[in-house]
Structure 1
């Protein structure tokens, strides 16, 4: 068996498996281009790594597809980060983004979807006690 077949994993989110038709993720750097009059060269400002948004077109199929669909809906509706098993990138901690699920009369026993997962999660600043300042204030 070839190496890429050995590396591929079965996709799932929060333990709910699904089949993947295709996937995509933007990569690279975020940049801001600055162009100036009477200059031949622009200035390119590096704004950091591109946010990785993992997008899937996939499906769930089988005699229990309704139950599996409901499990996936529950997993997608749960707030906060969850574990995504990506077929090519492995285990990732992501937050579910905008997703769409569809049914078709021509595809009985199957549900299709477009899923979007954002790498990383929002963390709010946390206020911490400045113990150094408290110590200085209590020393005579």
Structure 2
């Protein structure tokens, strides 16, 4: 292993952070919109969404934390290679890869939960449609 091996992960991890940060910002915006939309009246659908959003926030925190640790271990691997401590560098790089994979697995779980959030919205829309009718003149 040489210095360029862990260096290859730097752009990938940076892009991953960008994606995670974007997911967090979108989630924060959704929470604000939900708060503004509901005001003082909270419906059952909103309680389900709040539970979903709490889970997603926790998962995003884990995704980011694991990604940061992966990035740090990758940088340490480069440092250890620079000072000719190859075995320590390889171990550090191996743990970096493991943490990166764990971060991606948590991301996959968060994506699954986010699709559930969309299903909750669709269920609420369908329920409103059933209550109000389809809006077409059937006469």
TM surpasses 0.5:
no
Richer in helix (by share):
2
Q: Which has the higher contact order (CA 8 A, sep 6+)?
A: 2
Q: TM-score of the superposition, structure 1-length normalised?
A: 0.24
Richer in strand (by share):
1
Q: TM-score of the superposition, structure 2-length normalised?
A: 0.24
